[in-house]
Amino acid sequence: KAGVIPGIKVDTSTHPLAGCPGEVVTEGLDGLRGRLKEYYQLGARFAKWRAVINIGDDIPTGTCIEANCHALARYASLCQEQGIVPMVEPEVLMDGDHGIDTCYEVTEVVLRSLFGALFDFNVALEGTILKASMVLPGKDCDEKASVEEVAEATLRCLKSAVPASLPGIVFLSGGQSDEQATANLNAMNALGPQPWELSFSYGRALQAPSLKAWKGEEANAQAAQDALAHRARLNGAARSGSYTPDMEKELAAA
């Protein structure tokens, strides 16, 4: 389709990290240079690599953070070598009962480690995209955070750890509801211009309304498409800080 830039999710897999119980590392670097060359010839112009960071008792360890950030940086360098824009995704999971302050501390350490590794591997930040987690309390935490608290904590963390030369940050929804993910992104953009463009790369929070409308039935195909388009429009509004909760009702009224 005209105007669509093809991209790929790099063929990787997540495995338990030896010597670090409860932690994982993303593998897939062996032979990646050749695969990226093939991907480029097939039309791919950007790629994504996801690393997973768990928060729990005595984790994440420095070893886990370093191993994952090292892999992300090597992948990014290989991508740029082949003319592919790397999207680096160090996801700090929402699983657990930790508070928002703990998430902030872990996310800041992870991002600082990541950008240190990217520097070591001579990755051009101007040609890189960060897919980031928002700073949120764990889903089992009794103390919930408001939209304003999430936006403030996330921006503060990003400004502490992410260089301004990076052109853009896209957020993953990471277990948030569709409305919550949209509202949090909107709140960040409503706080004014930031050093980087702030956008979305949602999975569940973008697709869930469509899947709910579809229910696996062909007769619901149009309703599913309408739900997806509506959610995309709302997130598009959040990109400019112009989303309001009243906009959620537009699809039902149409």
What tens digit of pLDDT does each residue of 10-44 get? 767 899 999 999 999 999 999 999 999 999 999 99
Note the pLDDT tens digit of each residue in 58-78: 999 999 999 999 999 999 999
Across the range 100-111, mean pLDDT stands at 98
Residue 1's pLDDT is what?
43
What are the C-alpha distances in Å from 77 to residues 37, 41, 81, 87, 170? Answer: 13, 18, 6, 11, 20
Rounded to whole angstroms, how far apart are CA atoms 201 and 26? 20
Residue 250's pLDDT is what?
78
What are the C-alpha distances in Å from 213 to residues 200, 223, 251? Answer: 22, 6, 12
Closest CA to 79 of 47, 56, 42: 47
- Are 238 and 182 in contact by the 8 Å Cβ rule? The answer is yes
Alpha-helical runs (H) found in the chain: 32-41, 62-81, 100-120, 147-161, 178-190, 204-214, 221-239, 250-253
SS3 131: strand
Reading the block at residue 21, the tokens are 């119980």
Of residues 251 and 146, more confidently modeled = 146
- Please state the pTM of the whole predicted model: 0.93
Residue 253's pLDDT is what?
60
Residue 3's pLDDT is what?
56
Average pLDDT, the chain: 94
Exposure of 73 in the CB half-sphere (CA atoms within 13 A): 20
Active site residue 89: yes
Rounded to whole angstroms, how far apart are CA atoms 13 and 36? 16
23, 89, 91, 108: the active-site residue: 89
SS3 238: helix
Q: What are 31's strand-pairing partners?
A: none
Rounded to whole angstroms, how far apart are CA atoms 192 and 187? 9
Is the pLDDT at 145 greater than 60, yes or no? yes
Least confident of 8-22, 129-143, 153-167: 8-22
Of residues 145 and 253, more confidently modeled = 145
Rounded to whole angstroms, how far apart are CA atoms 247 and 254? 12
Active site residue 23: no
Rounded to whole angstroms, how far apart are CA atoms 170 and 202? 9
Note the pLDDT tens digit of each residue in 162-212: 999 999 999 999 889 999 999 999 999 999 899 999 999 999 999 999 999
Percent of the chain with pLDDT over 90: 91
Across the range 144-168, mean pLDDT stands at 98
pLDDT class of 109 with cuts at 50, 70, 90: very high
What are the C-alpha distances in Å from 132 to residues 22, 30, 102, 114, 201? Answer: 22, 25, 16, 11, 9
Is the pLDDT at 4 greater than 70, yes or no? no
131, 144, 152, 218: the active-site residue: 131
Across the range 79-105, mean pLDDT stands at 97
What is the CB neighbour count within 10 angstroms for residue 65?
22
Report which secondary-structure segment, H or E, holds 89.
strand 85-92
